[in-house]
Amino acid sequence: MVTIRAVIFDFIGTLTELVGYSLEMARRKLFKSLVDDGCNLTLEGFSAAYDTAHRKYREIRYRQLVEVANAVWVSEALNHLGYNTTPQERVVKTGVNVFFEDYLEALQLRPFTKSTLQSLSQNFKVGLISNFTYAPVIYAALRRLAINDFFDVVLVSEAVGWRKPSARIFKEALKRLHVEAYEAVFVGDSPIEDIQGAKKTGFKTVFIRSQFNSLDDMQKAAQPPDYSIEELSEILEILDILQP
C-alpha cells in the first residue's frame, strides 16, 4: 500500500464559506471607486461594459483553463467606454481592491477547519490550490482566518496562470511539495474543477459537500470521487484507512 505524504485542499467552499456576501453591492462599490478616481461613468453603462468583458474572459478561462485577472476585464470595460487604461494602473488596481473588500470579509471558516489542518500539519505536507482571479484576496484571507501557517504550499490560479481542472496547476503543487500524485489526497467541493481535475492527475480524491455543490451534484458528475464526506474532520478517518 502506498504511503500518503500530502493532503491538498481547495479553499472557497471546501475550507471556507461565504456569509452575507452581495455581488451586486461589491459591483456598486467598484463603480463608486472608479468614479471617485475621476472616471466619468454611468452605473448602467459601466455595468454593461463590465458584463461584456466578464463573459468574454469567463469563456476563455473555462475553455482554455488559463486564469485571467479581474483587473483585465475591469480595464477592458473602461477602455470600451473610451478610456485608455491597463490592468496595472492605479485606478484599476484600487477599484479591484475595493471590489473584493466585502468578499474577503464574508469568508468564514467551515466547522473543524482549523483543528483538522492543525492535526494534518503534524504528519503530512499540506497544500492549497484555489481558483481565484485576484490572488491577494486568498493570501489575505488565510492570514485573517489564522490558518496560513498550516500550509506548506499555496497556489492561486491568478498567480500561477493555470486554473483547475488543468493538470498543470495540480502538478505544480506536487512539484513544490516534492511528492508524487499517488502520494497525495485532494479534498474539494467542485465535481469538475477539484475531483475530475485531481483524479485525472493521479490523486486520491475526497469530495466535501458545500454551499455551492451538493452530494447530488457530485453524483451527477462523470468522475466519481474516491470518498465523500460531510465535515472536514472526516478526512482524518479516511487517511487512517489509506495508510499502510
Mind listing the pLDDT tens digit for each residue in 190-200?
A: 999 999 999 99
Q: β-pairing, 184-188 with 204-208? A: parallel
pLDDT value at residue 222: 75
Cβ distance 238 to 229 under 8 Å?
Answer: yes
pLDDT score for 176: 98
**pTM score of the predicted model:** 0.95
Which residues of the chain, if any, have pLDDT below 50? none
Judged by DSSP in three states, 73 sits in helix
Q: Are 153 and 21 in contact (CB under 8 A)?
A: no
Domain 6-19+109-242: assigned CATH number: 3.40.50.1000
Contacts of 205 (CB under 8 A, 6+ apart): 185, 186, 187, 188, 194, 195, 198, 199, 225, 226, 227
99 contacts 27 by C-beta, under 8 angstroms: yes
Return the pLDDT at 242. 87
User: What's the pLDDT at 165?
Assistant: 97
What pLDDT score was predicted for residue 1?
A: 61
Task: Give pLDDT, residue 119.
Answer: 97
Question: Mean pLDDT in the chain?
Answer: 96
